[in-house]
Structure 1
Amino acid sequence: MIDLKLPSKQELKRYNTLFSVLTKYGFEDVMANDQLKKLIPKSYLKKHPETQKLLSFSKFERIRMVLEELGPTYVKLGQIFSNREDMLPPKLIKELEKLQNNVPSLKDFNVEKTIETELNISISDYFQSVNPQPLAAASLAQVHQAKLLNGDDVVLKIQRPNVDDVIASDIEIMYHIAKTLDKYSPQAKAFQPLSIVSAFEKI
């Protein structure tokens, strides 16, 4: 029976981001597979003007940069695979290890507004100050210093915006791609892509 399920609005948005970032970092060859093309609207396949510039980086550097730019789901995936020396080449492992400690912080992230919205409070009622620059950033959250009204120093761990919806859409997309690779790519099938995505979803 033909699966006629249409992607959700959130999934379409993430497809757009996924293939735009792959193109930006010079991975148009990944999208050259005829079967994968069926998953991608034609508008997503336009070349990004920065592609040539980014080709100066090694393939493994660009893989790491793609994961960073795609956000929390893919950073977490890279972190997991950084421990798989049995599956991946040493140079790629070295790049993925950078995702353990060097996750980029969010750009244009209004920390105070996020705190006020999530906790339904006014910052001035509880804090003397909140540092907008993070102490550290991880795949799902980042950490900020703050000072309470009584002078106590505290650390706030703030979840990345809309992370639940993004992860759910990303995993759905991963399943679509894994099914395609499992069916049409003998090389990829050897790595059991569906099992990988299933294990990752549980994590």
Structure 2
Amino acid sequence: MSTSWILFLSAAGCGLLFAGCGLWAQLVDGTRSGPYRPREAFLPVGILAFCLAFGGLAFLIDSGVAETTLYETVEDTAAVSDDPPVTGVHRFGVQHPGARHDLLVAPESSISVDDPVRVRVRLSTPDGLVAVDEERTLDVRCEGLTGPCEWDTFTADFVPASAGDGELRVTVLDPGVTRVHVRIGDEEKTDGERAPGY
């Protein structure tokens, strides 16, 4: 099952749960005078409609990302992450020269992180030109006060001039990275698929 369907079904399930709770509360409300009237179901129906609309929007956004995915993989670096630098080489095929492509590199850890991580990214297009060659320090971001902390992502855009095979080299310069998520998107692609779990 794709992530898009999981998002939609989760929102639909929440809508059914919350609408059901609202309907149940109205039915058992001891202060209500007279029998239950169908027009009082406006709030539960509104809750369900909102959740379905939210789920539908999440489905469309995520499926749009999936369709434009040219290349995506998650590379396990746990075995060598304590002995940097660690370099992963990724080869991808350019299908639409002249189209804007977006690059995402996301180092991940199996535990909450405390310190920034340095990565070097070098991307060569099929014509042999270097489109991205940069070292960045990715800061730590945390989800709320008690949520896990993770690193920011490395993002860049490039426009390849010709079709063929390109190469991406990602070098992790600090320890603690257990896997590296890489995604390359092509704005003109319409039949892409996300990596499992994304």
Both proteins in one fold, TM over 0.5: no
Shorter-chain TM-score tier: under 0.3
More helix by share: 1
| Larger RCO (alpha carbons 8 Å, 6+ apart) | 2
Structure showing greater Rg: 2
Which structure shows the bigger proportion of residues in strand conformation?
2
